[in-house]
Amino acid sequence: MSEGEGLNIWLAKPYCGSGILFVLVSSSYWSSMDNLFTLVTERLIWTVNGLLAILYMLIDHLTALAFAVAVVAFVITTPREQRTWALGAGVLSVVACLIAPSPVPLFLLVMILGGWAAVTLEQYNGPAQRWNVIRGLALYALAGVGFTLYRNLGLGESVLADPMMAQGAGYLNAIIGIAMYVIPLGFLAMTAQSIWAHPPAPGTPSDLITKIRTRSGG
């Protein structure tokens, strides 16, 4: 009989003279295999749980993720003279999209998409149209952050505790709630109006200016 680590090998020689090898695995060997299997299973479970947590977080913040992608592309394509303001408005908007309650994230996404459409369709004054988008995003993001702080810090509840201020606080809460809808809808209305502000003209504005200069020069 020879003994290895966790493995016992028995050699039996029966009457016929041929050797038959019997391998008997000891309990320590099975114990080590169970420990290895448990370790691998735990690591696999941890990895899958981590991936699922990331996936659930992305789904939960899908609107913020789409908004961040749109804002990054908007800032990159912004002219240098407006890029600093666009970057500041973009960062503030992303923060508001992450911390503000509904409907702020959804409206921010709609605003940036509407702004992209307005900048793309604008042919006469692209910088002014882009600046309107930057200004609208910054104002609504600032309002969203203020709305979040107002709710989370319990400022409305502290005002309601005072009987003399309770009625005014009710009006204030109503105004704030309405503003979260009116500001983005007003922005979209003004953006749509600016797109149709000029009637279609033959050719691009630069071609029209070139023709006018050519005629005047001739």
- What is the rounded CA–CA span in Å between residue 184 and residue 190? 10
In a domain, 108, yes or no: yes
| 174 pLDDT above the threshold of 90 | no
User: Do 52 and 76 share a domain, yes or no?
Assistant: no
| 5 pLDDT above the threshold of 60 | no
In a domain, 208, yes or no: no
Q: Total domain count for the chain?
A: 2
Predicted confidence at residue 35, as pLDDT, reads 73
Predicted confidence at residue 206, as pLDDT, reads 63
In a domain, 207, yes or no: no
Task: Classify 16 as helix, strand or coil.
Answer: coil
Predicted confidence at residue 96, as pLDDT, reads 93
In a domain, 156, yes or no: yes
Lowest pLDDT segment from 52-61, 84-93, 119-128, 181-190:
52-61
- What is the rounded CA–CA span in Å between residue 140 and residue 16? 95
Round the average pLDDT of the chain to a whole number and report it.
Answer: 77
User: Do 45 and 74 share a domain, yes or no?
Assistant: no
Choosing from 17, 40, 60, the residue where a domain stops is 60
In a domain, 205, yes or no: no
User: Do 49 and 96 share a domain, yes or no?
Assistant: no
User: Do 39 and 143 share a domain, yes or no?
Assistant: no
pLDDT tens sequence across 68-78: 999 999 999 99
- What is the rounded CA–CA span in Å between residue 181 and residue 138? 15
User: Do 132 and 41 share a domain, yes or no?
Assistant: no
Predicted confidence at residue 176, as pLDDT, reads 87
In a domain, 13, yes or no: yes
pLDDT tens sequence across 116-161: 999 988 877 888 899 999 999 999 999 999 999 888 887 666 666 6
Lowest pLDDT segment from 18-27, 38-47, 76-85, 199-208:
18-27
- Cis peptide preceding 79, ω within 30 of 0: no
Strands 7-12 and 2-4: antiparallel
pLDDT tens sequence across 40-62: 777 788 787 777 777 666 666 78
User: Do 113 and 131 share a domain, yes or no?
Assistant: yes
Whose structure tokens read 């709305």? 147
In a domain, 92, yes or no: yes
Backbone region of residue 86 per phi and psi (left: phi > 0; alpha: psi in -120 to 50; beta: other values): alpha
Whose structure tokens read 């702004």? 115
Q: What is the mean pLDDT of residues 86-107?
A: 92
Predicted confidence at residue 202, as pLDDT, reads 64
The whole domain housing 32 covers 2-60
Q: pLDDT-based confidence at 14, cuts 50/70/90?
A: very low
Lowest pLDDT segment from 18-32, 92-106, 111-125, 134-148:
18-32
Predicted confidence at residue 153, as pLDDT, reads 80
User: Do 86 and 131 share a domain, yes or no?
Assistant: yes
User: Do 108 and 129 share a domain, yes or no?
Assistant: yes
| 20 pLDDT above the threshold of 50 | no
Give the whole-number percent of the chain exceeding pLDDT 90: 33
User: Do 18 and 46 share a domain, yes or no?
Assistant: yes
User: Do 42 and 83 share a domain, yes or no?
Assistant: no
Helices and strands, number each (H, E), in the chain: 8, 3
| pTM attached to this predicted model | 0.67
User: Do 27 and 90 share a domain, yes or no?
Assistant: no
Q: Residue 7's beta-bridge partner residues?
A: 4, 25
User: Do 97 and 140 share a domain, yes or no?
Assistant: yes
Choosing from 60, 82, 106, the residue where a domain stops is 60
- Please give the biggest Cα pair distance in the chain: 124
Q: 14-25 burial, b for 16+ CB within 10 Å, e for fewer?
A: eeeeeeeeeeee
